[in-house]
């Protein structure tokens, strides 16, 4: 696409993120971008998702369903209702085959409107996150007994939460879907929706989501645990970057 036009559109939306710094785009000719035609629509959706998280609250937003998102958007002017074409764009992103973005993982959520049953989940104190009671929570509780100084950085993500993360990543990469997909599973394909979770080292903040986590003693102890595996190892077949912080549960 015409990158100058693209930047022009993005240039008008810098208020979306205060002090936002775009990630290095590493442009390749084969990469797939949000089309020029869909760009204003996409930017509008990103804005609505970010506002929705603010209105609904970080913790509740992690498990919110698509229908509930639409309900809040209709009823809160700070978000604003999603238009028919915005919903159609989201549906396209959810149901299309992400192989074209070099993502080869399995679909984890069948329908865009699938909900998370509250009976099966539990809030994890002091983390702002939820885990599935039956499998993930038990494993997490054992992990924090066995390894000092670690905590849950990301638990359950509904399709809406995953969409918010993916779309913001695409935005940070100036519309480059292929590059964004290297560091985040597409909507409908996140194992966070069915049980996987991320852990980090206490006090490490955003650094927990970098390859450096793999050099910590905490990580070394985790890899010695018989009951845990790392989902996205170096050069994994799914096409996701090395993520030493992402625990494979399902
Ligand atoms: Zn993860």
Residue 214 covered by a domain: yes
* Band of residue 217 on the pLDDT scale cut at 50, 70, 90: very high
What spacing in Å lies between the alpha carbon of 198 and ligand 1's midpoint? 5
* Band of residue 151 on the pLDDT scale cut at 50, 70, 90: very high
- 215 token code pair: 């050099």
Sign for the CA dihedral angle at 96, 101, 102, 107 comes to negative
pLDDT, one tens digit per residue, over 103-150 is: 999 999 999 999 999 999 999 999 999 999 999 999 999 999 999 999
Residue 228 covered by a domain: yes
Instruction: Give the domain range for residue 40.
Output: 1-12+30-96+160-188
pLDDT for 27: 54
What spacing in Å lies between the alpha carbon of 192 and ligand 1's midpoint? 6
Per-residue pLDDT at 21 exceeds 60: no
Question: Alpha helices, DSSP H only, in 125-158?
Answer: 138-146
Same domain, yes or no, for 7 and 77? yes
- Averaged pLDDT for residues 213-233: 97
CATH code, domain with 147? 3.30.1380.10
CB atoms within 10 A of CB 78: 11
Same domain, yes or no, for 234 and 126? yes
- The domain tally of the chain equals 2
What spacing in Å lies between the alpha carbon of 36 and ligand 1's midpoint? 30
- Averaged pLDDT for residues 38-60: 98
Same domain, yes or no, for 175 and 148? no
Residue 235 covered by a domain: yes
Per-residue pLDDT at 26 exceeds 80: no
Beta strands in 28-117 (DSSP E): none
pLDDT for 30: 84
Residue 64 covered by a domain: yes
What spacing in Å lies between the alpha carbon of 229 and ligand 1's midpoint? 13
What spacing in Å lies between the alpha carbon of 92 and ligand 1's midpoint? 23
Same domain, yes or no, for 152 and 164? no
3-class DSSP state for residue 75? helix
What spacing in Å lies between the alpha carbon of 245 and ligand 1's midpoint? 7
């Amino acid at each position: 696409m015409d990158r100058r036009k693209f930047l022009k559109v993005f240039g008008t939306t810098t208020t979306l993120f205060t002090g936002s710094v775009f990630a290095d785009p590493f442009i390749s000719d084969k990469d797939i971008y949000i089309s020029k035609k869909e760009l204003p629509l996409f930017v509008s959706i990103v804005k609505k998702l970010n506002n929705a998280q603010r209105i609904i609250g970080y913790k509740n937003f992690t498990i919110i369903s698509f229908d509930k998102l639409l309900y809040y958007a209709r009823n809160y002017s700070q978000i604003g209702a999603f238009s028919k074409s915005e919903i159609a764009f989201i549906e396209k992103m959810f149901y299309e085959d992400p192989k074209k973005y070099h993502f080869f993982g399995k679909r984890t959520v069948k329908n865009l409107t699938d909900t998370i049953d509250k009976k099966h989940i539990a809030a994890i104190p002091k983390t702002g996150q939820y885990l599935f009671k039956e499998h993930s929570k038990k494993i997490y509780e054992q992990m924090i007994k066995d390894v000092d100084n670690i905590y849950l950085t990301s638990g359950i993500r509904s399709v809406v939460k995953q969409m918010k993360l993916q779309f913001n990543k695409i935005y940070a990469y100036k519309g480059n879907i292929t590059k964004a997909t290297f560091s985040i599973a597409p909507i409908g394909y996140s194992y966070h929706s069915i049980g996987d979770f991320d852990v980090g080292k206490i006090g490490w903040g955003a650094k927990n989501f970098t390859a450096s986590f793999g050099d910590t003693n905490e990580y070394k102890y985790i890899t010695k645990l018989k009951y845990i595996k790392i989902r996205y190892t170096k050069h994994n077949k799914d096409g996701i970057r090395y993520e030493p912080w992402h625990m494979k549960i399902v």
